Structure 1
Amino acid sequence: MATEAELTAMRRAVALAARGALTTPPNPDVGCVVLDAAGRVVGEGWHERPGGPHAEVVALRSAGDAARGGTAVVTLEPCDHTGRTGPCTSALIEAGVRRVVIAVADPNPVAAGGAATLRAHGIDVELGVLQDDAERMNARWLTPFRTRRPFVVWKFAATLDGRSAAADGTSRWITGAQARADVHRLRASVDTVVAGVGTVVADDPQLTARPADEHVPPGQPLRVVVDSDGRTPATARVRDGSAPTWIATADEVGAGADGRVDLAKLLSMLDERGQRYVLLEGGPTLAGAFWRAGLVDRVVGYVAPALLGAGDAVLACAGVTTIGEAIRLDVSDVAVVGGDIRITATPREHRKA
């Protein structure tokens, strides 16, 4: 049974892990807190970027000799393999900790087995402490292992009355420069950006990540245009060669009952390609189709303090016909970004068509 000190340390570890949300993909978000033999915090750390030291290593370095005989509290089972860095199990064993408290077992067969290795070296291991909290924080990484499809974030920008474009079709710019820069940081954290052909034809977006700060992507995300009938113009910016692009047609992917691209098959094919993290950028018709299929895992909405009164709604045909069917979300974060508000939320349950 975890002690109060360990529970407090795990809450801190979850918060630390969340700091890497924009920089760790495709790796998991992991946090670690080290307690000394008396239960006092002596070290902490989080995984900051692929190829960098894992959370356990950072926390152990921070703790130094005080880790010996103490406890490591970590949000994800320590890895037991050598990749770009060495096994975290070895680091914990060498540090002389007597106990390791883990929130979530590692579902990755390549890295799993850390708990068994630690126990084999005489270290007491407790698994499942504040598991729900840690899974919510790290859902982006866990989802592909459990569902065999990428984690999907729906990003939208809208006015306060829920419009994504004015009555004449203009939509640039609903939000301010700081919100748009924030979107580029979000794009830089994913491996796939998905948009509908309607958006491509209407707005001709480039769909590349162009962050202006330290979040410079090592490579551009894959651009996917959901284009059931192959209408993407030859001159569209998504074909400019600045990033890999897939024009996904119904002939290639397969069609659903409506004759359009089967979105579940599309995500399955992306998973087979090794794509794990999708940013869905619209427009409203495609977003509605993703919601009807129960394929949205997180929402990041940028809301501008502006009113249009007419024009396109941000979401269309989501399968809701009465208030009792409303898609309810749990808000995890609200932040002011320049003059706009960014809301991050998670659907309470996935709704199937």
Structure 2
Amino acid sequence: MKKLFFAALLFSAVSSTNAQTKKTTVYSGNPIFKGWYADPEGIVFGNKYWVYPTFSAPYEKQVFFDAFSSPDLITWTKHPKILDTANVKWAKKAIWAPSIIKKKDQYFLFFGANDIQNDQESGGIGVAVANNPAGPFKDHIGKPLVDKFHNGAQPIDQFVFKDKDGKYYLIYGGWKHCNIARLNDQFTGFLPMADGSTFKEITPEDYVEGPFMFMRNNKYYFMWSEGGWTGPDYSVAYAIADSPMGPFKRVGKILQQDSKIAKGAGHHSVIGDEKSNDWYIVYHRRPLDQTDGNFRETCIDKMYFDKDGLIKPVVMTNEGVPRKLLRK
């Protein structure tokens, strides 16, 4: 009887502790900030998390970018209109999928504009620069960085990647084709590859758009979106290789809609820390009660790996992630 009594006391104490812990855990909630935003790129600068999304609206109204910052993934500060087409003379509409990187003391923001359909139209992928991650950003070269279709890739959905050897690459492409190109030191153009080419196609099976790359344990994880961005089949898949050039063989999907949570989950980014093994996927999705293609919201959930380094399927939540302060 004494053993049973003490076991009951111990269970009660543990339950009470767990209950107290649960009460004090604060979660981000999903979406993480108000408004219709899509194609979010999450990144860390200093002791803050930053998210740079597309303003989700009809193309003619997509003429600026807002950014959001947080010290803990819970409280987000909006930085309105960090880039406006008023500062980019060739961009008129449909500025999409910002991707940002810091080089020395400057911040370079890559973006797509005008949704060009052929080589005769004006637009493509541009780059803007600022001295602060909150901008204001101004056009860096006065013209698009990529203004033509190479290897069938529409010049949209750009991602800038810094390799472990210090080289910078632009990875981009819509219309089911993806290219990689090495940026020059000034981010004003490109350097030829070893074989003399400038734009190398690295398209994996079922690729549609929205490329993203990160490294973990010296492996290159290449991720992309599949399906149609307005439909329920929008999703994220990935591959792993030993080089940013691939070859990339599709492993499988890790993010897709959940009929109990949201539809059209895709066009994502990853914030990760190998030391702490904390990994987050930042993505957009459409609420179950919305049918308008532009009604997309930015969300964040944890991302996990198995013992073999494969990404486990992401569980979408309404709670989001717990508070996580950054340390310098």
- Does TM, normalized by the shorter one, top 0.5? no
More strand by share: 2
Q: Which protein is bigger by CA-based radius of gyration?
A: 1
Query: Could you tell me the TM-score, scaled by structure 2's length?
Result: 0.27
More helix by share: 1
Query: Could you tell me the TM-score, scaled by structure 1's length?
Result: 0.26
